[in-house]
Amino acid sequence: MAREFSRTQRIADQVQRDLAQLIQFEVKDPRMGMVTLSHVKVAKDLGYADVYITVFPIGEQTQEEATKCSLEVLRNAAGFLRHELSHKIQLRVMPQLRFHFDTSVERGRHLHSLIEKASRELRDKSDSEED
């Protein structure tokens, strides 16, 4: 019987859980917004891990500023985070961390607004035909 998850997927899940805690409790930079790790993808050779994040701006920041600052902070802290992960996860090779902004959430919001707009227009058109 085949395994339900591959080894790299299990490692990615563990990296996501531990990295979320490290970012929350260890990274103390005021420029960083509220960061959520949406997905981690680990290469088969464990050479790197692509970490996809979403950011909620804090204070006066716009979404773009918060995303840019948060990515900069996380990229600068990647070595520290990798070192801390190596203490929590026992692997022969700890993957290099590469941080990316997850555009799927924005794309989902955009598609949702388009669907809502189309359904509203359809409703308005059917209401006007009934009159």
The domain that contains 31 carries what CATH number? 3.30.300.20
Does the structure show a pLDDT above 60 at 35?
yes
Quick check: is 119 in a domain? no
Average pLDDT, the chain: 90
pLDDT tens digit sequence for 57-105: 888 888 889 999 999 999 999 999 999 999 999 999 999 999 999 988 7
Q: In terms of Cα–Cα distance, which of 40, 54, 43 is closest to 12? A: 40
**Domain range for 28:** 7-102
Mean pLDDT of 40-60: 92
Does the structure show a pLDDT above 90 at 51?
yes
For 74, other C-beta atoms within 10 Å of its C-beta total 24
Quick check: is 93 in a domain? yes
Quick check: is 42 in a domain? yes
Quick check: is 111 in a domain? no
Contact 47, 95 (CB under 8 A): yes
Q: In terms of Cα–Cα distance, which of 60, 61, 64, 70 is closest to 24? A: 70
Does the structure show a pLDDT above 90 at 10?
yes
Quick check: is 35 in a domain? yes
Quick check: is 2 in a domain? no
Quick check: is 45 in a domain? yes
**In the chain, how many domains are there?**
1
